[in-house]
Every structure is written in structure tokens, then in C-alpha cells.
Amino acid sequence: EMTRAQELSAQVRPGVRALDRARVLLAAGLLAEAQEVAEQAERHFAAERSRVELADTLLVTAEIDLLAGDADAARSAARRAARTFAAAHHARGVLTARVMETRAQAQVRAGRRPPSPRRARADAELADALARTLLDNGMVEDARAVRLLQAQALLEVGDLAGAEQAAGRAAELGRATTRVGRSRSRAPRLPLIATELHTRVVNARVEFAQGNRSAGLLHIRRGLDELAAYQARFGSQDLQSASAVHGLELTRLGLRTALQTRSPAAILQWLERSRAASTRLAAVRPSADGVLAQELSQLRVATFRARQAQLAGEPDPDLENEVDQLRRRVRSRSWLVGGSGAVNRPLTLAAVQRRLATAGGHHGGPGGVSIVAPFRGAGRFHALVITARSARYLQLGPDFGLESTLNRIIGDLNILADHRVLAPLRRVARTSLESGLNRVAEYIAAPVEPLVDDGPVIVAAAGSAAIVPWALLPGLSGRAISVSPSVTAAVAGMGRTAEEFRHGVLAVAGPEVPHGIQEAQVVSEVYSSFPSDGPTELLVGEAATGRAVLDAIPHGGLVHIAAHGHHEPDNPLFSGVLLADGLLYGYDVAPNPALPSQVVLSSCDVGRTDDRPGGEPLGLVAALLRSGVSTVVAGTSRISDRVAAAVMTAYHQRLYKGESPAIALAGAIKTAAETEDDPAPFTCFGAGL
């Protein structure tokens, strides 16, 4: 609506439009985008000397800083806003700025070690006085937020009675504002999600201080359910992931409390609830949007032309600006769709173990299926290990720098994938790779290995842990492994029919891949003689365009793409695979009328993900899985073209014989290793067993 208003009257108060847009982006959790627009608003208001609106913008900036974890910057912006409001003689504005400063001060205090009871007591007294002043001025919702901050400060000094009283007053104010909304014959006011989640945090802490752990955990679970319901209102993966930032404090409290219980059942519930977009929200399938499809097509061509200009040593600023503008339009266009509001209930530990027991012989391999869920919190690594007969929580050890180790592993794999690299450097890379893999195995894999059964392993992980090349780790190599962010989703998909090829097969080869066309042809030939409900199609050379691929996707079938991949860390949904006319993006797949059940990306890097500030992972693989694709096989680093062709040939031959994807991939990697020396860092994501 804001975009349409701007098109109607582009010159009317651009600062006001920018400020309002920044507020909306902030509510959705899009912090970088909100900051960019807020800076535009600040420049406009400074030029106009509009003090009140400039101060309003500073408060938005303070909120952004607060959510981003920069409490000192937030406090500074709030104080500047208070001075600006005061200069404009805007009393209510000054009070609003003081509320923001109180929120920032609470975060500053929480980050100081050792804690200062004297500072907490002083902040509690200031909050009490501010709440009274706010009520005198009719600012009920602000007073409610400040009472919660008062309760939080009193808990820090051990004044449980005072904290209970402050939390009770906050609850009364919440009920009062709801009654006001109803008395005016309108729908009840939609509370700010941040205030609602903070209420859950404070109430949980009060219960914990009273020794009522079960009641405190109930507040945390309900708060995470409320956050999931908020996320489910968005029909965009981008917004679902970004809006998780509002639940950071609640999620961290939930982690600390679940770990204190040392109960696998309680920890599993926290794990499944803490990443709602990854684990609990329905697949995001917006209806086909002709405008979005057209803009994606234009972006594909413009990006391709800009890349060609760069490769020729003559970068074109106009083309690069066109790419930037198209990316902005595509992204904002994807935000238009509303969500279903549906939130799935996570499985209990007992239910997970029942599924593992009944899945027994369905996965096509020896031994039972085990679940390993590594995660990080409180400066340490932890893990849940679940089998049909047992469940254990392990405290693995200190954070050993997984990201830096992974970057080194990926760098070594990239070197080994390039046969132009001289032998001495390859030997160094191989030694370094072995050292990095051993380091990850020592901290994460080795402690859990004695607890898992002999059969396949489901790794329930997100972020950095999800892109570990698990199949290359000592102790796990040769074992069938399926990686999923959700225990519930992974277990629910076990034992299903893995013969997606019965519904049709699409084999695609992108440009500049030496063995790509041959690989796609072999894949096509594997299935061409099989009687199926759908056709087997082959797209190579100039025919392999983005539009052609989208039009040829077999619904419920299998898509194999041999192409160079591109991972975009700044906006992972713009990650994609390179086709004849440019990149096929994550944004392309969800609205497409046909959706495959399995996607095989014989590509570089596209298995990688990046975590949003709220902890939600996002990348091309995550985008495909959240769109409704059941299984994605992809590489998390560069892969030798020769190795990729060997692994993929064996993989599809095994799929054709009825093996599940994870079993088939493990067997294919083992077969390829008999003739190829280079590693094959492929991973099976989603429902692989």
C-alpha cells in the first residue's frame, strides 16, 4: 500500500513515508532494511528542521539497535530523541523516549559482568516513577512495558515480592487496554508482539524465582507458540525468518531453563519451538504472481549481463544499479502474501521414539535410525541423541570456533575440487582438511558416536552445524545421514515412498560445467525406460533457461540440476543455480504451480545457509524445503566435476532400485571413492530416510 501511495504522489513528505515504512519493516524484523529507510527519513527531517518527526525517527533507530543487540547505541539514540523532543516542547514525546532509554538501560545492565544490584535497584525505582508519570498522561501501553522492566530489575536484586507486584500491575494494564478497545465496539487491540513476549519472559522468571519450574516453562512454551503464530501470519519465508528476532530473549531464557532440567524431553520441546519457521510453520506456497515472475526474469537477464561485463573487465554501473533496483522490487513483492496462520504442534519425545521404532525396516539399511541434534548455547555445544530405546542429553564442550573451522574446511574442499591447482598445494589442502574434520569430529561427532545405533543418522541442526560435511567426518563416513532443522519433520517423513521419479524426471545442465551435459544425459537415461506417471525431460545448452526449467518441473517428481551454484549471504533467497539465461533463484520456486518432491543440486555452495538475527536459517536449500520440497541433495562447497558426475550416476542408479535418498547417497559416495581420490561433500537435506 505504501508503494502504491508513493506512485500516486511521490513528492509529498518523503520523510514521513520513509519513517512509516521503517516502522513496518521493523515490525517484520527486517532490521537492515528498516535502518536504511530510517536513515533516509532522518536526512529529510533534518533538512526540514522537523524536530518532532526527527525524534520519532531516532526512536525507530533505537529500537533497531536494541533488537540488533547494540544496547549502548540504542540508549544514545533514545537520549538524543529525548533532547530533540524537549527542544520542541513535546512532553509526551519526551516520555516515549524515556521508555526507550529504560529498555536500553535494562539491556546494558544485563550485559555487564559482574551484575550490579545497586544499579538494578536504582533502575527499578526510576521505572516505578516513570510508570506513574506515564499513567498520569494516559500512556497505558508504555506504562505496561515499563512495569515489566521494573519487575525484571527487582528480580535481579532478589526482591521477589516487589517483582510480583510490578508484574501484576503490568497484567492489569494489559487487561485495561483490551477492555478499552472492546468498549469502543472495535476488535481488541493487537498488542505489540515485543510487549507480549516480554510479559512471558518476566512471568516465567517470577515463577522460576518462586521455585515453580513447570509453570515457568509453560510461560516459555506459550510465548514461543505466540511468536510462531505471529510468524505464521506472513506468507513470505523472508518475513517468517526475520520476525523471529522479536523472540530472542524468550528463546535464550528457554534454552537456559531447558538445559537446567537436563531432561531430553524438555530440551527437545525447546529445540522444536525455538525455530518455528524451520520446524512448525506450513509450507509457503504463494499463488503464481505474473509481476513477480516477470521481474525475476528481468533480474536473471540483468544479473547475467552484469556478470559478463565484469568478467570482460568492463563493469557497467548502470547494469549493476538495475540489478540492485530489481532485487529490491522482487524482495518487496514477495512480502505481499499473507500466511495461513497455521502452526504445527511439535512431537513429544515419546512420539518421536515411537516413530523411530515403527520406522525399523523402512529405511532400506541395517540397524535402527538415530537422531543427533547438536546445538549451541551459553558458550558451549550440546547435543540430544535419540534412538527408539533411549534418549540422552550431552554437554559436549566449549565453543571451539565452529565457523572458522568450517570456513577452513570449505576452503580446503574448494582447492581440492580444482584440478588446476598444483600437487604441492593440494597436499597441503588435504592435510588441512583432515585436521579440520578431525577437530569437528572431536568436539561434536566422537562424543555421540557410542550412543547411536548402527543404522542411518538424522542430524537435526540449523546454521553452521547444518552445513558440516557430516559424511566426511571420522566415525561417520560411510553412514547414511539426513540433515533436517526439525526433528518432527524428519521423523514424519521417514518410511515414505522415495520413488519420486515415478511422477516424472527433469534433468538439467547449466553452462560452463565440463561434465554437466553428460551427467544430465546419464540421469535422463537411468529413468527413461521406467514406466512412470510423468515424462523424463532433458534440458541442456541454450534450452536450459529459468523459464523452461520452471515450466518443465514434474509435480511431485524429481529434478536434477548440474550447474554452478551461487550462495548469497546478504540475502540467501537470491542464492541460485546458473542456467543459460542467468540464475534460477530461491524466489522462483515457491510460487511455481508445479513443485517437485526431490531436488538434486549437483552444484557448488548451494547447500550453505545463513542464520537471521533471530536464529532462523535461510538459504536455497531452506527455501526449497519450506516451499514443500521433501528432499534436497546438495553440496556445501565446490565439488570436482568428475566426482560429481561419478556420485550422481551411482546415486540415481540406487534411487532407481528403490533405496531412500540418504542410503543411496551414502552408497554412491562410497562407490565413487573407489575410483576418485577427491572428496564428495554432498549432503541429503530434509526427509532422506
Interval 617-635: pLDDT, tens: 567 888 888 888 999 999 8
Residue 405, amino acid:
T
Per-residue pLDDT band for 277 (boundaries 50, 70, 90) equals low
Per-residue pLDDT band for 364 (boundaries 50, 70, 90) equals very low
Reported as a single tens digit per residue, the pLDDT across 589-599 is 878 889 999 99
Per-residue pLDDT band for 126 (boundaries 50, 70, 90) equals very high
pLDDT of residue 99: 96
Q: Considering the chain, what is the average pLDDT of its residues?
A: 87
pLDDT of residue 607: 56
For the segment 271-285, the average pLDDT, to the nearest whole number, is 75
Q: How far apart are CA 255 and CA 244, in angstroms?
A: 15
Helices (H), 49-116: 51-67, 71-87, 91-110
pLDDT at position 451 over 60 = yes
pLDDT at position 425 over 90 = yes
pLDDT at position 604 over 90 = no
pLDDT of residue 188: 33
Contact assessment for residue 22 and residue 58, using Cβ atoms and an 8 Å cutoff: no
pLDDT at position 38 over 60 = yes
Per-residue pLDDT band for 497 (boundaries 50, 70, 90) equals low
For the segment 448-455, the average pLDDT, to the nearest whole number, is 91
Contact assessment for residue 346 and residue 488, using Cβ atoms and an 8 Å cutoff: yes
For the segment 41-54, the average pLDDT, to the nearest whole number, is 94
Reported as a single tens digit per residue, the pLDDT across 161-199 is 999 999 999 999 988 765 544 444 333 334 478 889 999
pLDDT of residue 533: 67
Reported as a single tens digit per residue, the pLDDT across 475-494 is 888 889 999 888 888 887 78
pLDDT of residue 185: 37
Contact assessment for residue 453 and residue 369, using Cβ atoms and an 8 Å cutoff: yes
Select the more confidently predicted residue: 334 or 404: 404
pLDDT of residue 572: 66
Span of 308-312, 446-450, 478-482 with lowest mean pLDDT:
308-312
pLDDT at position 509 over 90 = yes
pLDDT at position 608 over 70 = no
pLDDT of residue 466: 85
Per-residue pLDDT band for 332 (boundaries 50, 70, 90) equals confident
For the segment 298-319, the average pLDDT, to the nearest whole number, is 87
Q: How far apart are CA 331 and CA 327, in angstroms?
A: 6
pLDDT of residue 570: 63
Interacting residues of 317 by C-beta distance below 8 A, sequence separation 6+: none
For the segment 122-132, the average pLDDT, to the nearest whole number, is 96
For the segment 660-679, the average pLDDT, to the nearest whole number, is 90
pLDDT of residue 181: 47
Q: Is 160 exposed, middle or buried (0-12, 13-18, 19+ CB in 10 A)?
A: middle
For the segment 347-357, the average pLDDT, to the nearest whole number, is 92
Q: How far apart are CA 199 and CA 223, in angstroms?
A: 9
The whole model's pTM is what? 0.85
Q: How far apart are CA 83 and CA 63, in angstroms?
A: 17
pLDDT of residue 615: 56
